[in-house]
Structure 1
Amino acid sequence: MSQPESAVADAQAGGRSGQEPLSKLAKRYGLRRAIARPRFPAYLRQLWERRHFIMTYATSRNVSKYSSSALGQLWQVLTPLLNAAIYYVMFGLILGGQGNIEHYPAFLLTGMFVFTYTQRSVTAGAKSISGNLSLIRALHFPRAALPLAYAIQELQQLAISMGILMVLVVVSTGALPTWFWLMIPVVLLLQTMFNVGASLAMARMGSSMRDMNQLLPFIMRTWLYASGVFFSIQEKVVESLHMPQWVANIMYANPAASYIEFMRDILIPEHPVPTWAWVSCVFWAVFALAFGFWYFWRAEERYGRG
């Protein structure tokens, strides 16, 4: 008789006689639950082993997203262009948001494209577990693969948006690309690390809080208005509203504003940015990624239950 069969026989005998609990029997024979949470290093190793699945899943979702529309993948180019036009007309012309901001079209478009990347990643991550319960219950795999795939999908779409953004910045400012533009991948890497961590944290919250998907649009909208996408934080908060400088510093330190300002500093000539903005970018990237993985991993056994 094999070891598992012997353990089952002992468990049945123990259940009849009431001599030894099943948990002790399982421990004695080296058995463990099939869905038990692995140790954190092992969990990361399992994710790495499934990297091809994560990339393929993200790419397939990207391709199928516009498959039913007449223009197909062309919408990946049209969507950011239409958004850019609408935001400029509404906030730049009608509401007069440009004020004393030099190169306002580039200022606004950079803020919107960078913020939208984080917004879409966090929103998709919040639904990645609750929207894939059938897949989770059918297959055994590290559940973090789902929010990771959603974050990679948004990164793939961002690649097209950034190409459009750089062309629009050159057209609106009249300035040619500089060597400083080589820092763009660095900023996007830091922002992607933050997005992945935030997506993982929101995925766990979205899996247990049924009202999170209803609250998230209001949270994202508030975050949008607090991140200086449509206005200069320094000009509006300190110079127009006459608030203390520390209020503006707190707004600059919010992760979305930090990545927006860092990207504006790269793309827009002579754009004033706090000297410590890159420190904030690095801090949020490392903190969010580490905390997000740990926070998501802690509830690994509960995903797909109920």
Structure 2
Amino acid sequence: MIQIVLRGLFVLMTAMVAGMYALRSFSDSAQKLLLSIGSAMLIAGLIVLADIFTPRKRLSSLSGAFFGLLVGMLAAYSLSFIIDYISTLFPVRSELMEGAKVFTGVVCVFAAISMILQTKDDFRFVIPYVEFAKQIRGNRPMLLDTSAIIDGRILDIGQTQIIQGLLIVPRFVLNEMQTIADSADKLKRARGRRGLDIVAKLQANPTLDISIEDAEAEGATVDQKLVSLAQDLHARIITTDFNLTKVAELRGVDVININTLAEAMRPVVLPGELLSVRVVKPGESPGQGVGYLEDGTMVVVENARPHIGHDIALTVTSSLQTAAGRMIFGKLASDNDPKQG
């Protein structure tokens, strides 16, 4: 509402200012007076339309354009002296010289603005402590990837109240989940709907600060857009996608991989500790039995094949960290050893 009133006042003030000056210049011609007011309102209307169709403006771009304008005007002012000196050496009509100054000013302003907008990220190397980027204070925002939302564990993590920063779900991520939810494949459709349900539950959590980001980002794929948006917002990415994690790290974006987080949260077991596990299948070596802890950690137990389908007690002998996760090796405790009668 405030924006509508502001735009209306802008058009009205433009018409009033144009009318005041036109009244002094064309007081004897009502047609020229109305033409001046109409032209001013048309220009104001075009400016308002440009403002409406660019709702997402970046402060860094605006500040860069303003700084480029100042630099361009300063360069044009300096070059005007050279043009005046040339006019004393080679007599030229004054109208032509004025036109040359205006043309030089336009070229200088355009070149300065274009150069600064294209190099604003590196501008601090030219002038130390000058940077066209917003400073992030407090907790950095976190962008949710499609894979992290559909995975669902982000909902459980949020309920622990460990997340303090702003969670951002980009609009293009929502669109991707909507596309998956509309898929003809039953499994994909279920995954897409699950992702949309997870977003709704995250929004309903009173302890989480979550928002939908409508800004577009550069990139042909959702992953590329996500990395670009994270760079623009100085945000971190939450994902379960291994490839996205690697690409983001190569581009200097911090990533929180839920799988890595889950791996880090698994309890540490030491040799000699007692564990209880259900043997579910035989191992690769003769006599071995394989079971799994509640967190999914594989446990390989020597001489446990006769106990498949039963809970056993075991003593940890060693553990091994692999690319697929951690494996625990153990042997039967004395009360489960078939040799103990």
Same fold (TM over 0.5): no
Q: Please classify the TM superposition score into its range, dividing by the shorter chain length.
A: under 0.3
TM-score under structure 2 length normalisation: 0.21
TM-score, normalising length: structure 1: 0.23
Specify the structure having the higher radius of gyration (Cα): 2
Structure with higher helix content: 1
Give the strand-richer structure, 1 or 2: 2
